[in-house]
Amino acid sequence: MSRLLLIIISAVLVNNFVLLKFLGICPFLGVSRKVKTAVGMSGAVVFVMTMASVVTWLIYNYVLVRLDLVYLQTVTFILVIASLVQLVELALQKISPPLYKALGIYLPLITTNCAVLGVSVLNIQKKFTLVETTIFGIGAALGFGVAMLLFAGLRERIDLCDTPISFRGTAIGLITAGILSLAFMGFTGMVKL
Amino acid sequence: MIDAVITLALLALAASFGLAIAARIFSVSVDPRVEVIEDALPGANCGACGLPGCSELARRIADGKADIDACPVGGEEVARRIAEIMGQDFEGGGVRTVAMVMCAGNDEVALKRFHYNGIYDCTSAALLFGGNKACIYGCLGLGTCAGVCPFGAIDMVQGGLAVVNPDKCTGCAKCLSACPKGIIKMVPVNRKVHILCSSHDKGGKVRKYCKVGCIGCQKCVKAAPEGAIEMDENLAVVNYDVEIPESVAETCPMNTIVVGGGVERKAAAAGGEG
């Protein structure tokens, strides 16, 4: 039980995917202008990451390993992730058209989001069990969500500030992301998995 | 090798099967007219209607949130086609407006203050003492407007002057905001008499730097019908609501007033030895 808790804490804070592993930077900068879209994106990522972790783990251990086709890992994982993203896209278009519009291009871009593939690959590398995989998937997605939320909140405030013209927009965003990342460096080494 | 191919194929098949089912469950009914309207629109995604693109306008029109003639580029023809799709009547709209550069001062007739060697762009040039033309109102002729025109309707005539081709211009007005001098105006395409000058300087000053500039002599104002040409700080401005006889152009001592637009006026500008 304590190991599962550690996995969550590790994924959310200590080894935050965005701020410490630098995975999934594209949506991190792209959809973090407003808290609302950031929350929506995080929701989509939570779903995709968790599902992808579980499905890829199952496929890896029960199909690829048994058939001795481990070298197909990357291709199959991408296939799974792409289909899952498509599923989320279909569902979102039906359930919440405004969110679907707000996320725009970044939704299909989860397909090529290295964070999702990263989680799936890490699950295998760290030899997690199915339960641990699920928890790690959720944790990693939550970590992504935390980073997105923090950053979106900061950017909303920065938009109101009198920033020098040359720093406005993405420039100050990148600097803020760097400082945020530095802050998260403080957690380094607190949890060893 | 074979088992790798088969495994991947099976996995892909399973995924596509799942997606097919999901597509059924989450199917969203889209108004079929949206696609047809989008096909009828010009498809340049120029943003002249104020919306992000043609598909967005098509959606609005289908929803009844936008008028059938909301596309300023497509004009009457497109509006008629959309009216047909929407099952509405369309009684012909007003006259098409086209952009016109209100300056005739090419290199032969207008003086330059210095030789500009910077970035080949009007906006950059305008930042440097307002550009290199002696006339601070004049066309800089570096083609920023031609660059933003989605329809290739603006030619840079020889001697550094932008000229809009009224046949190609769709009236999207993108060039109006691109011009750092703000000397491009929308004019009704059926009006033939134009005053091609934007200089508010006094006559004496204009004479020194431009052979075809408006010197504010008001001869045309007197010759034209009441209210057809008005003075605005030393500059005669055509009021396009009123029809002006072509003979008014002959009263201008500077040949600033031209009949017809587009390429014809190039000759008028070159011939203006006044």
Looking at A60-163, list the stretches that DSSP marks H as alpha helix, in order from N- to C-terminal side.
Answer: 73-95, 97-103, 106-109, 114-125, 130-160
User: Which residues on neighbouring strands pair with residue B237, listed in sequence order?
Assistant: B230
Q: Do A155 and A32 contact (CB within 8 A), yes or no?
A: yes
Return mean pLDDT, chain A: 87
B24 domain-assigned = no
Choose the closest CB to A94 out of B4, B12, B28: B28
Same domain, B86 and B193: no
A88: closest chain B residue by CA: B22
Integer angstrom CA distances of residue B8 from A11, A67, A72, A75, B18:
30, 12, 8, 8, 15
**Partner B contacted by A170 (CB < 8 A):** no
Under the banding of pLDDT at 50, 70 and 90, the label for residue B269 is very low
Q: What confidence tens digit (pLDDT) does each residue in B221-232 have?
A: 988 888 889 998
Residues on chain A touching B19 (C-beta within 8 angstroms): 83, 86-87, 90
Q: State the smallest CA–CA distance between residue A75 and chain B in angstroms.
A: 8
Q: How far is residue A185's CA from residue B48's CA, in Å, rounded to a whole number?
A: 48
Q: Do A75 and B8 touch (CB under 8 A)?
A: yes
Q: Which of A101-105, A150-154, A162-166 has the highest mean pLDDT?
A: A150-154
Residue after which a domain boundary falls, among B77, B94, B111:
B94
Tokens of A142: 């939550």
Under the banding of pLDDT at 50, 70 and 90, the label for residue A175 is very high
Same domain, B149 and B254: yes
Whether the per-residue pLDDT at A178 is higher than 90: the answer is: yes
What pLDDT score was predicted for residue B118? 87
Same domain, B162 and B90: no
Q: Do B161 and B101 contact (CB within 8 A), yes or no?
A: yes
User: Which residues on neighbouring strands pair with residue B257, listed in sequence order?
Assistant: B195
Same domain, B123 and B191: yes
What pLDDT score was predicted for residue A189? 82
B12 domain-assigned = no
User: Which residues on neighbouring strands pair with residue B186, listed in sequence order?
Assistant: B99
Choose the closest CB to B4 out of A59, A72, A83: A72
B15 domain-assigned = no
Residue after which a domain boundary falls, among B94, B123, B149:
B94
Residue B171: its H or E element: none
**Could you tell me if the ipTM is greater than 0.90?**
no
Q: How far is residue B68's CA from residue B101's CA, in Å, rounded to a whole number?
A: 29
User: Which residues on neighbouring strands pair with residue A83, listed in sequence order?
Assistant: none
B13 domain-assigned = no
Same domain, B219 and B149: yes
Whether the per-residue pLDDT at B139 is higher than 60: the answer is: yes
**Partner A contacted by B30 (CB < 8 A):** no
Same domain, B105 and B193: yes
Whether the per-residue pLDDT at B267 is higher than 60: the answer is: no
Q: State the smallest CA–CA distance between residue A66 and chain B in angstroms.
A: 11
Q: What confidence tens digit (pLDDT) does each residue in B36-64 have?
A: 888 888 887 777 787 878 888 888 888 88
**Partner A contacted by B9 (CB < 8 A):** no
Whether the per-residue pLDDT at B270 is higher than 50: the answer is: no
Q: From its phi and psi, is residue B50 left (phi > 0), alpha (psi between -120 and 50) or beta?
A: left
Same domain, B252 and B179: yes
Same domain, B130 and B251: yes
Residues 33-62 of A with CB under 8 A from B: 59
List of residues 6+ apart from B79 with CB closer than 8 A = B68, B69, B71, B90, B93
List of residues 6+ apart from B139 with CB closer than 8 A = B101, B103, B105, B133, B160, B161, B162, B181, B183
Q: Do A83 and B18 touch (CB under 8 A)?
A: yes
What pLDDT score was predicted for residue B200? 92
Q: What is the CATH number of the domain that holds B43?
A: 1.10.15.40
**Partner B contacted by A87 (CB < 8 A):** yes
Whether the per-residue pLDDT at B128 is higher than 70: the answer is: yes
- Domain residues for the domain of B246 are 97-271
**Partner A contacted by B21 (CB < 8 A):** no
Q: How far is residue B259's CA from residue B115's CA, in Å, rounded to a whole number?
A: 32
In 3D space, the residue among A56, A74, A70 whose CA is nearest the CA of residue A133 turns out to be A56
**Partner A contacted by B88 (CB < 8 A):** no
Q: What confidence tens digit (pLDDT) does each residue in A82-97 have?
A: 888 888 888 888 888 8
**Partner B contacted by A73 (CB < 8 A):** no
Residue after which a domain boundary falls, among B94, B122, B142:
B94
Q: Do A94 and B26 touch (CB under 8 A)?
A: yes
Q: Do B18 and A67 touch (CB under 8 A)?
A: no
Average pLDDT over residues A124-149: 92
Same domain, B218 and B130: yes
Q: State the smallest CA–CA distance between residue A125 and chain B in angstroms.
A: 21
What pLDDT score was predicted for residue A190? 82
Number of domains in chain B: 2
Q: What confidence tens digit (pLDDT) does each residue in A107-119 have?
A: 777 777 788 899 9
Lowest mean pLDDT among A49-58, B72-81, B95-104, B207-216: B72-81
User: Which residues on neighbouring strands pair with residue B163, listed in sequence order?
Assistant: B155
Whether the per-residue pLDDT at A20 is higher than 50: the answer is: yes
Average pLDDT over residues B235-259: 88
Q: What is the CATH number of the domain that holds B250?
A: 3.30.70.20
Q: How far is residue A157's CA from residue A154's CA, in Å, rounded to a whole number?
A: 5
Under the banding of pLDDT at 50, 70 and 90, the label for residue B91 is low
Same domain, B51 and B74: yes
What pLDDT score was predicted for residue B261? 59
B179 domain-assigned = yes
CB atoms within 10 A of CB A68: 9
Choose the closest CB to B22 out of A75, A76, A87: A87
Same domain, B83 and B163: no
Under the banding of pLDDT at 50, 70 and 90, the label for residue B244 is confident
B46 domain-assigned = yes
Q: Do A64 and B7 touch (CB under 8 A)?
A: yes
